[in-house]
């Protein structure tokens, strides 16, 4: 990623940590009574920030004419997403078969495993639409977005962004018209959440065509963050792609104009941004495992909850960094060496 986009890498870290705090807050409130309710409800909005970032980055990384090979694009995305997701999914599935009591969701069937690995949405017994690795529901949207983008690179590489905007907009319109009923796959792939990728694509258009404007938009993150936090106190009758997606887009847009001075804090943020994918996927199971062990050994007291929170947070970050350096990065390098994905080239304007 270009040097001027270090701020987006730091935003990745912040978004992942927001989701971690959301799940940690829920666990501490539910299992230990440390809070009357989840103290970090806005943390789940990190997902919306990730979707917007993804839309921006896919446009950014295909900005050069020599970067628009559909095969290369699809293989790079697969090389980035699949290895650690498959590994975590298979480990979790094995744990569910051997010791289902360790998992809140219990064990999964082989059919559910196959759908999870193929990024096909399905409904669990509890009504949730989520794969074996439950946060993988967002990857189902990501992979669908990548598929649409790949098609755009095949049929209209020069007008890829326009194609994606039209396709995602049309699908969302179908979803809005159809309502909440009907087939699960139709509902899933016509969800308004697709517009959050569109917001990211539109941000790239502004970034690419009006670069001098970006520096003047830095204060927007305050407005975006305030809008997300305000939703904890006010009921806003808007769909998620508007209620949360637009503030998330304001945050991403403003971060493009932010510059962080080099130093330990920026480097730590960048490293955590590198590991944000592993952190996002793996932290719920660290929190759950630490909580179960703590309750079994020390009981469900407030003091135990505080200790559990500290260990869960440190453990989630530590294991994510290990996962990135020992699994994610080596697996990507291994796949690139075997021609699965060519190395990233320097981005140039189209």
Q: What percent of the chain has pLDDT over 70?
A: 94
- Over residues 340-347, the mean pLDDT reads 48
Least confident range of 3-12, 29-38, 170-179, 310-319: 3-12
pLDDT at res. 350: 29
Domain range for 168:
3-337
DSSP state of 4: G
What radius of gyration, in Å, describes the C-alpha atoms of the chain? 20
Residue 147 belongs to some domain of the structure = yes
Residue 199 belongs to some domain of the structure = yes
Residue 296 belongs to some domain of the structure = yes
- Over residues 151-173, the mean pLDDT reads 97
Residue 244 belongs to some domain of the structure = yes
Residue 268 belongs to some domain of the structure = yes
On average, the pLDDT of the chain sits at 91
- Over residues 56-66, the mean pLDDT reads 95
d(C-alpha 219, C-alpha 229), whole Å: 16
DSSP secondary structure, 128-159, as one string: -B--SSGGGHHHHHHHHHHHHHHHHHHH-GGG
Residue 21 belongs to some domain of the structure = yes
- Over residues 284-296, the mean pLDDT reads 94
Residue 350 belongs to some domain of the structure = no
pLDDT at 80 exceeding the cut of 50: yes
Query: 152 near 163, Cβ under 8 Å?
Result: yes
pLDDT at res. 349: 32
- Over residues 288-306, the mean pLDDT reads 94
Residue 349 belongs to some domain of the structure = no
- Over residues 209-225, the mean pLDDT reads 94
- Over residues 18-31, the mean pLDDT reads 96
pLDDT at 92 exceeding the cut of 80: yes
Q: Which residue has the higher pLDDT, 237 or 15?
A: 15
Least confident range of 162-176, 222-236, 307-321, 328-342: 328-342
Number of domains the chain contains: 1
């Amino acid at each position: 990623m270009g040097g001027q986009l270090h701020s987006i890498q730091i935003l990745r870290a912040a978004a992942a940590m927001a989701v971690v705090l959301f799940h940690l807050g829920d666990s501490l409130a539910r299992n230990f009574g440390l809070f009357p309710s989840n103290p970090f409800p806005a943390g789940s909005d990190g997902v919306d920030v990730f979707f917007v970032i993804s839309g921006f980055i896919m446009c950014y990384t295909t900005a050069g004419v020599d970067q628009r090979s559909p095969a290369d694009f699809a293989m790079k995305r697969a090389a980035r997403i699949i290895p650690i997701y498959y590994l975590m999914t298979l480990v979790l599935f094995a744990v569910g078969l051997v010791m289902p009591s360790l998992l809140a969701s219990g064990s999964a069937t082989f059919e559910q495993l196959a759908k999870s690995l193929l990024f096909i949405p399905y409904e669990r017994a509890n009504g949730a639409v989520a794969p074996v690795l439950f946060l993988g529901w967002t990857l189902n949207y990501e992979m669908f977005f990548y598929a649409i983008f790949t098609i755009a690179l095949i049929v209209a590489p020069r007008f890829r962004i326009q194609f994606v905007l039209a396709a995602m907009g049309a699908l969302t319109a179908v979803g809005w018209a159809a309502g909440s009923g009907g087939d699960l796959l139709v509902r899933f792939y016509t969800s308004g959440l697709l517009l959050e990728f569109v917001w990211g694509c539109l941000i790239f258009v502004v970034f690419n065509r009006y670069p001098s404007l970006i520096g003047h938009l830095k204060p927007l993150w305050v407005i975006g963050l305030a809008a997300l936090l305000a939703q904890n106190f006010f009921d806003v009758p808007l769909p998620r792609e508007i209620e949360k997606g637009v503030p998330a887009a304001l945050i991403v847009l403003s971060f493009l104009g932010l510059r962080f001075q080099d130093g330990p804090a920026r480097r730590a943020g960048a490293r955590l941004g590198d590991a944000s994918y592993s952190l996002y996927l793996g932290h719920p199971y660290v929190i759950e495992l630490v909580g179960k062990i703590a309750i079994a050994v020390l009981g469900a007291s407030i003091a135990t909850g505080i200790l559990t929170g500290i260990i869960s947070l440190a453990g989630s970050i530590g294991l994510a960094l290990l996962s990135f350096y020992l699994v994610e990065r080596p697996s990507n390098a291994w796949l690139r060496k075997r021609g699965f994905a060519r190395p990233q080239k320097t981005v140039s304007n189209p």
